[in-house]
Amino acid sequence: MVLRSDRRLEFAACWAHVCCKAVESSTYQQEGDQLLGMIQALHDVDTCAEENLIEQRKQL
């Protein structure tokens, strides 16, 4: 995912690449920080789901 100069998102690659682009972005630092926060939240849910039984996953 790349934030272009016209403020549109372009989809590409994996989450690691998205994180790198967000960190590297100096023009859109606030948006990059927000995106990193959202990615971290998704990662936290994913990690929690891996550690729980199927019934507990449904509650996430």
C-beta atoms surrounding 18 within 10 Å:
19
Q: Is the pLDDT of residue 52 over 80?
A: no
Arithmetic mean of pLDDT, 27-53: 84
Structure tokens of 24?
Answer: 């590297």
Average pLDDT, the chain: 77
Confidence bin at 43 (pLDDT 50/70/90): confident
CB-based contact 2:21 (threshold 8 Å): yes
